[in-house]
Structure 1
Amino acid sequence: MFFSKMRLPLLVTIAFFASTSAIFEDQVGKFDWRKPLIGCPANLHFDKAGSKSDRLIISTEQSILASLVLNTGNIGWRKIMEDSSETPNGQTFTKDREYIYSISSDGRSVRVWHKNNGVMARQLTISEEKSSVQAIHVAKEKLFVASGKTLMAYRSGDEKPLETVVVKKERSFSAFFQLDESLIHVSAHPGDSHLELVKINDDGSFDSPSELKMEGFSMEKCHAQSEYISCLKGSQLLVADVFKQKVHKLQLDSDQYHLHPSTTGKLILARGVDKLHVIELTSESGLQVRKTVDVTSSEAVGVAENHESIVVASSDAIRVLSVNSNHHYSAKRTSSEDGKIMENSKPKRVFARKSEKDWEIVLVGEDCRIEFVTVDETSKLVNLEWAREESLINTVSVEMVDLPLSESQQMIEDEFEEAGNFFTAFARRIHSQCGQLVRFFTKNVEKIIHVATSISRDGNGVSDFINSVRAAGQIGSASSGPFERDYFNLRKVIIVVTSSGTVFGIDSADGQFLWKMWLGDSFSPLESQLEQKRVPLFVQRTTAHYQLDGLASVVFSNKITRNGVIVSFNPMIGKVESRNELGYPVKRVTVLPVHTNKHVYPVMLIGKNDEIKTFPSITSDELTATTSSLYLLDLQQQSVQGLKIDISTQKIQPVWQGNLGLTADDEIVAVKGKSFNQKVHSQGRVLVTREVQYKYVNPNLAAVASINKANQHLTITLVDIVTGQVVHSAAIGKSAKPIHLVHSENWIAYTYWSEKGRRTELGIIELYEGSEENHTQQDTFDSKIVQKLPPVVAQQSYIYAQGVDAMSVSETEQGLTTRSILLAHPSGNIHEVSRRLLDANRPMELTQAMREEMMIGYMPEIAVATEEMINYNQTVHRVRGIKTSPSGLESTSLVLAYGTDLFFTRLVPSGTFDILKDDFDHVLISLVLTGLVVGSYVTKRLARSNALASQWS
């Protein structure tokens, strides 16, 4: 009886929470998708999960601890640590049957996680000092931690340490070693040629340290594993037996060997140019080479969990070799992946174990691709179970490219493409209309067949009929139809470039990979003037010219020669069109605002010695008076200069130079210009007094943000890069990083951390020419025309109650829609702030005329409402950038946020004013309308029959 009474409230509660799990529940996953990532694995362990599927416990270079389901590769759970800087060795962690123990906060704390669900059980404090030298170990129901100068022991479940030892000098090496019941901590200090050994007793206490002399010890050339510390000193291998406190030596045949970082087992792997020596330390004969294996530079090597087999993997084959016998076999890999172009890199790490039936192997590529394969010894086949493209976590450049025109759209283009007389134009019109008619009938026949098949399979009721018609209406939709442009151009190909050397083509409809391109083993990102890694991506020719394929290019450097490399490819299929390596390093790269006869916008690369090269080359006939020269802004250490580049002669000429008021304490943190293809719909703003305030739309205006370290002053300087004129300069006191800028139309928005208010503040600067337009006689803005009056500047600041990780602005096809500013929070939300709220002209007091014009009064704080989060409950962690792109609808902007996760969605800043709502039921309205027409006709016939019958009666 009690449970029956509790059933109704429980169901109501469950329904309530289910309905509040998202803001627009009917739209969740309809227009957006999210790809959670974990990063490039540094450490990986196979772990059994009882009756459930086994899992992989992974620590990545991006300070993420995660658990993957072994059968599917899905993320079971993941924990994103606060250490956002890349750590090549990953998080330091260990595990037992129930928990995972990891060192976090730069070595200042230990966190204990449940293996099943990733819930944190407790957190233990180590010290207040940061340290990158860490070690952790679990044994005898005790936890032992070493970080920096501190060595601690905990009893499992306790929060207070049993014993703590703090040394005077910082350690350069720290590791725990266990053999049976014996446990020893080994450490070293910078510059010392001996190891310090501390034996740990059964009760968790530490003995007095002893020393073991080891010449040539250095962290770069030494590795620790179960019982040994192995080091390379030239061509000599030194192995220290920690428990016997003895150092063994072995002379190798050359000094080109390096040690494979194996942390478990007794095998020591020394790898040379083309050979791999498997070395073992025995009590009888010391160090001896057990096996020598021929390897190539494209093969990765790993030790199986049973410590008795060596796995050698490449892109096309996997070899398994037994150490204790001559048993070995090789299995070939297939490169086909559902017919897609997927160029993968060579593997760099191998993790393997032997199961009851076959070998289970995890491969980590140079491009951070994780592959789980199984190898059957009898059939010698390699089966790819799943793969994860984790290089997307290092996304640095994004572009969105339109899909090719559909067949009917090409017919319309052909109809108006060719010139001719009246009769040929009429013939093309008839041919185009006939083609569209045939296409229309073909699609409808497919829908009718689909409806008939569904009814015969599912039933013949009214509801079954309606569902069949709705399903038929979805045939040929964006996600399932042919690879062609949809009616509103909402589906695009997202080109993503990563700092790992991979380029992806992603379908914006569902996030599926269309193709992948590996840029080569010699790939290296370019170094920017702001000390950022960047790989510039340019779309040189879109698919608007349907007779020609699209063209995009990516620029990077060769890490061996340091020279620049440009790769051009087809953005639709990922096919490489050309690859050119320059003879000099690249200092500057940009796309020219003029296209060739084949509708290609050339990319210009400038070398460190002012060498200039354009791809493809442009002739003098394709240049005009307005496009023959290009102006660029060049940043020096404490000065800024403007450069004029003559494209025809490929000469660089300095035009002006100045320091913009910068001193030795000033640091330039951000520079933002305008996109040359940005559209401004309205040239003026109508005021309440019915006057027009014309916008100062200068395409040559650049915003330079600099911060003074001494007095904590932020300066926003607006400079014309053609003349060097400082249009405006704004100074904000008591400011600090992070600083973000967006530059659009006639305004600049920026965020900064206010040291005075201890909060994030958001500023806006707007520029106007005044009530009279100065460039009425010019179609385009010309910086060389002297201004009658300086621009009118309006600026305002607002309080923003959240931190900001990235900042962007929405883009639409014609620029008619009110823009929105997108702000990414450290908490994982992406907030949409309307440009109407972020207005420098919001009045302090509203008059009646202002209220009639729907003006918004000034409020110092920008409200952060949950319904304004465009990613609702889809958290996007560590957002580094937000890319926006227009669609075919003026109301809709496409948004991709990238960081630890990828998130794509549609944005409608002013609502969907140019399209019916997505929940508009066309099928139901059509059926109701048809029913009303039929009903009116039947009713009319019945009324006529009744009238005739009544007259006869």
Structure 2
Amino acid sequence: MRLPLLVTITLIASATAIFEDQVGKFDWRKQLIGCPARVDFDKIGSKSDRLLISTEQSILSSLVLNTGNIGWRRIMEDSNQVVQPNGLTFTKDHEYIYSISSDGRSIRVWHKNNGVMARQLTISEQKSTIQAIHVSNGRLHVASGKTLMVFRLGDDKPLETIVAKRERSFSAFFQQDDHLVHVSAFPGDFNLEIVKISDDGSFETPKQVIIDGFDVEKCHHQSQYISCYHNSQLLVADVFAQKVHKTTLDSKLQSISGSGRLFLARGSQKVHILEVTSENGLQVRKSIDLTSSDTVGITENHESIIVASPESIRIVFVNSGKHFEAKREKNEQNSRIRSIFARKNEKDWEIVLVGNDCRIEFVTVDEGSKIVNLEWAREESLINTVSVEMVDLPLSESQQMIEDEFEEEGQQNIIAAFVRRIHSQVGQLIRQVTKNVEKAIQVVTSLSRDGNGVADFINSVRAAGQIGSASSSGPFERDYFNLRKVIIVVTSSGTVFGIDSSDGSYLWKLWLGDAFSPLESQLDQKRVPLFVQRTTAHYQLDGLASVVFSNKITQNGVIVSFNPMIGKVESRNELGYPVKRLTILPIHNHRHVFPVMLIGKNDEIAVFPSIAPEELTPSTTSLYLLDLQKSSVQGLKVDISTQKVTPIWQGNLGLTSDDEIVAVKGKSFNQKVHSQGRVLVTREVQYKYINPNLAAVATINKNTQQLTITLVDIVTGQVVHSASIGKSAKPIHLVHSENWIAYTYWSEKGRRTELGIIELYEGTEENHTQKEMFDSKIVQKLPPVVAQQSYIYAQGVDAMSVSETEQGLTTRSILVAHPSGNIHEVSRRLLDANRPMELTPAMREEMMIGYMPEIAVATEEMINYNQTVHRVRGIKTSPSGLESTSLVLAYGTDLFFTRLVPSGTFDILKDDFDHVLISLVLTGLVVGSYVTKRLARSNALASQWS
């Protein structure tokens, strides 16, 4: 019995090691926790400390205090899109963490050491965002919505339950010694309802305390107090004494915070430190002058106040007039601090700073040296990624020499062209010789250090061959196959990052300012458009990219242009009006920059950078846009030369008032189509309907649950095709590429996810043989031939995308992100509308795939293998220098980057190909052939003499 078990375990272990050498070689993952709403310092027995963090993205996590690494992380299902400013509601004791999850419907108990869930308790079936939780005296007290409950620790059933008649607007527990009360308020009522909880877990009769003008947004609760402010007046209610203290300060208040018996009432220019005493009531202890960039916090022991700014950190002692200031290194690309969490230990102050850009910094401040030491930092704004582009690295020196060699200038003069070519090739020769000398020196140095054996020699040659490869430690230049790129990431928090695609390291960071606000799209989505206006292909000029956003104070549009290689801002322009539409123009100016056109609320037009009239041609003077209104869809003609917007058609596309537009997809700006036709089994060619002006509009009817996919030409307003699917529901995702549209939806009838495909063809006779480009204004002889098919997909879908290659020759793959965290690669050959029901011998010879209603989901087709990527919101693909390889970045709660080879690596040797060994073998064979030839000649001569 033991032998078969041992063999089985051995086989399983070997199966899990498939492609083990590939793990982490071409891919990387960044795990994020989000913007912290609450941070607690916690002790891990006699070991180092940790931070328990609840974030706005409904994530509960533990960070190692010394390194900032994630100890464990638990992602709740509460909020996939909605941000919760107060984070998860949780409390803790010496062993467990107790959190309220499932929108206030359940309690989860977690082990603090490893984050493993111990148990789950049910509160009610009603959702609520007004929550409170408290643990003491062996009991767990929970308030969620209308429900107030008490559990004995370890029990699954409550000891006592109270259900209010209406929803609460405020809920909190307060404890003083052994006395515990629950305080709540109801909308539109200034009365605070105080319920005392006895030792046996029962609730006593509620009592009332009145706070004039009680407003949850202007109140704060701590220890045994509830503090509220109104203009310059501060009210503090003692929930145990049931007494309200009032005072009026000398400035208008902006916020209230505090801990213990101390209150921090902040005005525009100073913060007042107040304390409630039994003798004098509410008294001002100290006032501290502030600037607009200062943020105030208080330590856990309530003995000192922390005032942090981009330039310094001030420590103010409450019980004395003593204070000191420590300078910190200022970084213009970091935002101002929005919250502080601090504690005082025996040696120094440990402070966690959270910025408006969701950057977490852990610093220590020593009173003796007055130095701020940055221990670690985490860029958590990446969890809010909304736009991604991949930009090629600059050309290498040898590639620039090749470009110089074939410059168009000087081609008229044959002598100058010859001299330029000789100069360029001499430079390339010198560069190659220098590189080989460096490799030889490295080999000799390695042999002298490690040994002189054959194995040491082979290893030294292999190591030397890796000099100059595309790695983070190599030169910042394009590699031979253009596989290393700079990933430009824009977040809805107002930050732009440059990330090295080789290892995920940060190259630079750009903060867009405190007045940053995302744009509102026509589909009620927040977005920050990113455009690459000039790539690094023009090696004499730097690359150029731009982001467009809104000023949250003036609501006007702002466009910021920067160098994508180093993040340096080139220009910043603020419009005098809000942005309604924007796009990148398909023409470039004399500096090879594709301008961005912004259309204002009243059809004002601005182009950045400006383009001269002589650079416009008749074919590029006008631009056509699709505009989605509440009740109709219209096509707009934008005349760039006169800067006028003219509606040219308007209609509802057959939509009713009950139809909701959920997705609109056009074609990629720079997508390439390699083949204009598809060869059939009959050897006929079916030509693709390639219309660059085609847009796919997905709508769903709220009453009939009917999904409609409408394909409309935005130039003429002609509906090319319309498909309807009954009994459908969200989520709905679209992918539009070449002559086909793929979409997914939830089928209410089948209770499953279904995946559909629509393909458009012109027929077997090409209608546009006389034209170089498709023209929507030329009437088609016949409508396009439509082929469509649906498949069952046995997984949910969070995001969809399609692979992109340099020439479009490689078979495309559709990338589908699952809610479980997998990213599935579905070959375009499987998602084909022309898969036949029955295969003929001719079809089998062409290796066609017969129709099956279900798309198989195999584990080996997951491009992220076992590296789970949570809450994927988008997938960005980009071509590389290899036609077989596409680069992929999936973003959401995590970032995951990898390479994709839909048709295999047909244009490059495998990465594990041993170049050194094959070179040595070939050298040995050549040498051996000469030696054997010489020996054979000697033997022949000897035999003749004999």
CA–CA distance in structure 2, aligned partners of residues 254 and 363 of structure 1: 27
TM-score (norm 2): 0.98
* Match among 105, 116, 141 for residue 138 of structure 2: 141
Amino acid at match of 2:418: F
Amino acid at match of 1:313: A
1:458 corresponds in structure 2 to: 450
Amino acid at match of 1:295: L
Residues 819-830 of structure 1 mapped to structure 2, 5 A cutoff: 819-830=812-823
Question: Could you give the per-residue CA deviations for residues 311-351 of structure 1, whole angstroms, max 9, x where no partner exists?
Answer: 11111211111000122111111247xxxxx7111111111
Shift of 1:950: 5.8
* Match among 410, 435, 438 for residue 443 of structure 1: 435
Question: Could you give the per-residue CA deviations for residues 633-662 of structure 1, whole angstroms, max 9, x where no partner exists?
Answer: 111112001111110000111111101011
8 Å Cα contact 1:22/1:28 also seen in 2: no
8 Å Cα contact 1:19/1:25 also seen in 2: no
Question: Could you give the per-residue CA deviations for residues 650-686 of structure 1, whole angstroms, max 9, x where no partner exists?
Answer: 0111111101011110000000011232111111111
8 Å Cα contact 2:799/2:872 also seen in 1: yes
Secondary structure of the corresponding residue to residue 555 of structure 1: strand
Shift of 1:28: 0.4
Question: Could you give the per-residue CA deviations for residues 5-31 of structure 1, whole angstroms, max 9, x where no partner exists?
Answer: 99x999988876665556521110000
2:393 corresponds in structure 1 to: 403
Relative to 1, partners in 2 of residues 1:228 and 1:903: Cα closer, same or farther, differing over 3 Å? Answer: same
Secondary structure of the corresponding residue to residue 620 of structure 2: coil
8 Å Cα contact 1:269/1:278 also seen in 2: yes
Secondary structure of the corresponding residue to residue 619 of structure 2: coil
Is 1:431 the counterpart of 2:428 in the alignment?
A: no
TM-score (norm 1): 0.97
CA–CA distance in structure 2, aligned partners of residues 61 and 463 of structure 1: 55
Is 1:922 the counterpart of 2:915 in the alignment?
A: yes
Quick check: 929-938 or 161-170, which moved more? 929-938
Question: Could you give the per-residue CA deviations for residues 723-747 of structure 1, whole angstroms, max 9, x where no partner exists?
Answer: 1100000010000000000101100
8 Å Cα contact 1:277/1:289 also seen in 2: yes
Shift of 1:816: 0.6
* Match among 34, 50, 58 for residue 39 of structure 1: 34
8 Å Cα contact 1:23/1:872 also seen in 2: no
Q: Which runs of 5+ in 1 are unaligned?
A: 337-341
8 Å Cα contact 2:294/2:307 also seen in 1: yes
Question: Could you give the per-residue CA deviations for residues 133-178 of structure 1, whole angstroms, max 9, x where no partner exists?
Answer: 1000111121111111111111111111121121212111111111
Amino acid at match of 1:186: V
Secondary structure of the corresponding residue to residue 387 of structure 2: strand
Shift of 1:214: 1.8
Shift of 1:216: 1.4
Is 1:290 the counterpart of 2:282 in the alignment?
A: no
1:568 corresponds in structure 2 to: 561
1:364 corresponds in structure 2 to: 354
Amino acid at match of 2:897: F
Shift of 1:254: 3.1
Shift of 1:457: 2.2
CA–CA distance in structure 2, aligned partners of residues 19 and 235 of structure 1: 71
CA–CA distance in structure 1, aligned partners of residues 321 and 448 of structure 2: 62
Is 1:52 the counterpart of 2:60 in the alignment?
A: no
Q: Percent identity?
A: 82
Number of residue equivalences: 941
Quick check: 168-177 or 752-761, which moved more? 168-177
1:339 corresponds in structure 2 to: none
Relative to 1, partners in 2 of residues 1:860 and 1:932: Cα closer, same or farther, differing over 3 Å? Answer: same
8 Å Cα contact 2:226/2:239 also seen in 1: yes
CA–CA distance in structure 1, aligned partners of residues 148 and 836 of structure 2: 62
CA–CA distance in structure 1, aligned partners of residues 436 and 508 of structure 2: 32
Quick check: 168-177 or 926-935, which moved more? 926-935
Amino acid at match of 1:523: F
CA–CA distance in structure 2, aligned partners of residues 558 and 929 of structure 1: 66
8 Å Cα contact 1:22/1:872 also seen in 2: no
CA–CA distance in structure 2, aligned partners of residues 761 and 896 of structure 1: 25
Relative to 1, partners in 2 of residues 1:14 and 1:353: Cα closer, same or farther, differing over 3 Å? Answer: farther
8 Å Cα contact 1:23/1:867 also seen in 2: no
Secondary structure of the corresponding residue to residue 877 of structure 1: coil
2:900 corresponds in structure 1 to: 907
8 Å Cα contact 2:390/2:878 also seen in 1: yes
CA–CA distance in structure 2, aligned partners of residues 736 and 388 of structure 1: 38
Is 1:709 the counterpart of 2:702 in the alignment?
A: yes
Question: Could you give the per-residue CA deviations for residues 681-724 of structure 1, whole angstroms, max 9, x where no partner exists?
Answer: 11111111111111100001110000000100000000101111
Secondary structure of the corresponding residue to residue 171 of structure 1: coil
8 Å Cα contact 1:406/1:485 also seen in 2: yes
Shift of 1:932: 2.4
1:300 corresponds in structure 2 to: 295
Question: Could you give the per-residue CA deviations for residues 207-256 of structure 1, whole angstroms, max 9, x where no partner exists?
Answer: 22111122211111111101100011332111001111111101112334
Residues 560-709 of structure 1 mapped to structure 2, 5 A cutoff: 560-709=553-702
Residues 146-545 of structure 1 mapped to structure 2, 5 A cutoff: 146-260=143-257, 262=258, 264-335=259-330, 343-417=333-407, 418-420=409-411, 421-479=413-471, 480-545=473-538
8 Å Cα contact 1:235/1:255 also seen in 2: yes
Quick check: 152-161 or 854-863, which moved more? 152-161
Question: Could you give the per-residue CA deviations for residues 506-547 of structure 1, whole angstroms, max 9, x where no partner exists?
Answer: 000000000000000000000000000000000000000000
CA–CA distance in structure 2, aligned partners of residues 22 and 77 of structure 1: 25
Secondary structure of the corresponding residue to residue 809 of structure 2: coil
Relative to 1, partners in 2 of residues 1:438 and 1:92: Cα closer, same or farther, differing over 3 Å? Answer: same
Shift of 1:564: 0.2
CA–CA distance in structure 2, aligned partners of residues 455 and 858 of structure 1: 61
CA–CA distance in structure 2, aligned partners of residues 590 and 824 of structure 1: 28
Shift of 1:52: 2.6
Relative to 1, partners in 2 of residues 1:12 and 1:241: Cα closer, same or farther, differing over 3 Å? Answer: farther
CA–CA distance in structure 2, aligned partners of residues 13 and 690 of structure 1: 50
Question: Could you give the per-residue CA deviations for residues 812-832 of structure 1, whole angstroms, max 9, x where no partner exists?
Answer: 101111100000000000000
Shift of 1:919: 0.9
Shift of 1:465: 2.1
8 Å Cα contact 2:229/2:253 also seen in 1: no
Amino acid at match of 1:37: L
Question: Could you give the per-residue CA deviations for residues 803-855 of structure 1, whole angstroms, max 9, x where no partner exists?
Answer: 00000000010111110000000000000000011000111111111111111
8 Å Cα contact 2:253/2:265 also seen in 1: no
8 Å Cα contact 2:252/2:268 also seen in 1: no
CA–CA distance in structure 1, aligned partners of residues 830 and 918 of structure 2: 38
Shift of 1:202: 1.9
CA–CA distance in structure 2, aligned partners of residues 288 and 944 of structure 1: 111
Secondary structure of the corresponding residue to residue 162 of structure 1: strand
Shift of 1:71: 0.7
CA–CA distance in structure 2, aligned partners of residues 271 and 462 of structure 1: 73
CA–CA distance in structure 2, aligned partners of residues 300 and 879 of structure 1: 34
Quick check: 732-741 or 373-382, which moved more? 373-382
RMSD: 1.6
Secondary structure of the corresponding residue to residue 103 of structure 1: strand
Question: Could you give the per-residue CA deviations for residues 439-485 of structure 1, whole angstroms, max 9, x where no partner exists?
Answer: 11111111122222222222222222222221111121111210000
CA–CA distance in structure 2, aligned partners of residues 855 and 15 of structure 1: 38
Amino acid at match of 1:388: R
Secondary structure of the corresponding residue to residue 436 of structure 1: helix
